[in-house]
Structure 1
Amino acid sequence: LEDLDFHDIIVSMKASDVNLAIEAYEKAARAFDYPLHLGITESGTLFAGTVKSAAGLGAILNKGIGNTLRISLSADPVEEVKVARELLKSFGLASNAATLISCPTCGRIEIDLISIANEVEEYISTLKVPIKVAVLGCAVNGPGEAREADIGIAGARGEGLLFRKGQVVRKVPEEIMVEELKKEIDVIAAEMAAEREKEKETQEQ
């Protein structure tokens, strides 16, 4: 192609077999400097395909290989984008996306953790700032376990604890704790966006 004066080249080594794809991309990265488009083709349904893609592409990304990627699922393309964003966030490769931290269910939980976590995840899905939000079911250990979160809620019977960076901000009634969390998210997201804009203006000067 270069002999024909065509230089806009990006190479994909997609395979349905995870180990084969990993090996192919490793060899390609050693062999040439063309940008690599990552993918596990024909990976499957939303659940199985997500696991398979994360296993294969995660191993490749962890080696510092890849320039673009696509998650291929037998599902709504919107789900492909969501999975791709989560995968990139897991490796610190998406600086413009929010992250949800939530705990597994256990005997100490006294709130509807699963529905709250899903609601909050949906709420932050469109944010373009690297805010970390925690939804935890235990007010005793929650704030400390998620001390890296910018903002979070730890539920208890009848109330929740709002906390920032592991420090409790205030108690809120259980019936409004999700709305109070959303308000705090909005404030922090606005602060982050303003700070990013300020940094951008400084760099342009």
Structure 2
Amino acid sequence: MTAKRIFVRILLFYVLTIFVVGLVVSSNDPHLLTMTDTASQSPFVIAARNTGTKVVPSTISAVVLTSAWSSESRIIYGMATNGHAPSVFMRLNRFGIPYVAVALYGVFMALGYMTLSQSASTVFTWMQDIVSIYTLVNWICICVVYLRFLYGCRKQSIDRHKELPWTAPLQPYTTWVSLVVFILLFFTGGFTTFMKECWSTETFISSYLNLPFIILVSIG
């Protein structure tokens, strides 16, 4: 039931909203390519601005920031509960908030102030790009692990539909399609750096460092 609810939420909050934004914001909107220090180039912000809503960039930034702060602190608390992080992160205040986990994540959020300095902003941009690409690598790893789990069940004659509490439909086809798409996105993400006179060390490193690093660490 929980897995089904997650699927519905992803469908509504991500797929549906992106579809609607795609209908509202033109692909050649000049604001999409305008670099700013706020979220004003976000298609969600542009869509809201086109409706006449004010102070949208700051509102979107606040929503994203508080959402990330909440989710990441819960992850740290969950890790501590399962014994995968120091027990100090299990401490709660009288409102039931894991304040130690929230404080830890708040320290890393302060790295955002690096954008106020030109030199530090360059480092922050590198870090931001590497983390963004790591999301693709993370999903590639998830797909590979799930495929090994699926074929492992088959090898041991384990019937997923009878012995597991919940099974994803259309397997392994959807996982293979997802894996191919993620790999394609990964290898084409920094393709511009291979074009004539367009080499960028930052683009190359941030786009392709993660995968060999993950492979090296896994083998090690």
Fold agreement, TM-score > 0.5: no
TM-score, normalised via structure 2 length: 0.24
TM-score, normalised via structure 1 length: 0.25
Query: Greater share of helix residues, 1 or 2?
Result: 2
